[in-house]
Amino acid sequence: MGVPFRHAILAVDISEASELMVASASDLAKLGVEKITLVHVAPVPYAGERREFSTDAERGILKVYKKEIEEQGFEAEFIIRSGVHFYPPTELIMTAEKEGADLIVIANRGHSKVQELLLGSTATELLLRSPLPVYLLNVGMDLDEETDERTFTLRKASEKMLDHVLHATDFSATSNRAFEVVKSLESEGKVGKVSLVHVQGHHALALSDPISLERLTKLNEEMLNEKRDELSDHTREEAQTYLTFGTAAKEIVSIAEEKGATMIVLGSQGKGFIEKFFIGGVSHQVARLSQVPVLLIPAER
User: What are the b/e assignments for 139-167, b being 16+ CB within 10 Å?
Assistant: bbeeeeeeeeeeebebebebeebbebbbb
pLDDT by residue for the chain (301 residues), tens digit each?
Answer: 445 799 999 998 888 888 888 999 999 999 999 999 999 988 776 665 665 677 888 999 999 999 999 999 999 999 999 887 788 888 999 999 999 999 999 886 544 444 444 444 455 667 778 899 999 887 776 666 777 676 767 666 678 899 999 999 999 999 999 999 999 999 888 899 999 999 986 554 555 566 577 888 899 999 999 999 999 999 999 999 999 988 899 999 999 999 999 999 999 864 444 444 444 478 878 888 888 999 999 888 7
Backbone CA torsion sign across 59, 32, 297, 254: negative
Claim to verify: residue 65 and residue 133 sit in the same structural domain: yes
Structural domain containing residue 205: 161-297
Asked, for residue 101, whether it belongs to a domain, the answer is yes
Claim to verify: residue 179 and residue 149 sit in the same structural domain: no
Domain boundary among 93, 121, 153: 153
Position 271, amino acid: K
Asked, for residue 95, whether it belongs to a domain, the answer is yes
**What pTM did the predictor assign?**
0.86
Domain count, the chain: 2
From the number of C-beta atoms within 10 Å of its C-beta (0-12, 13-18, 19+), residue 60 rates as exposed
Claim to verify: residue 165 and residue 135 sit in the same structural domain: no
Asked, for residue 39, whether it belongs to a domain, the answer is yes
The distance of Cα 203 from the centroid of its chain, to the nearest Å, equals 26
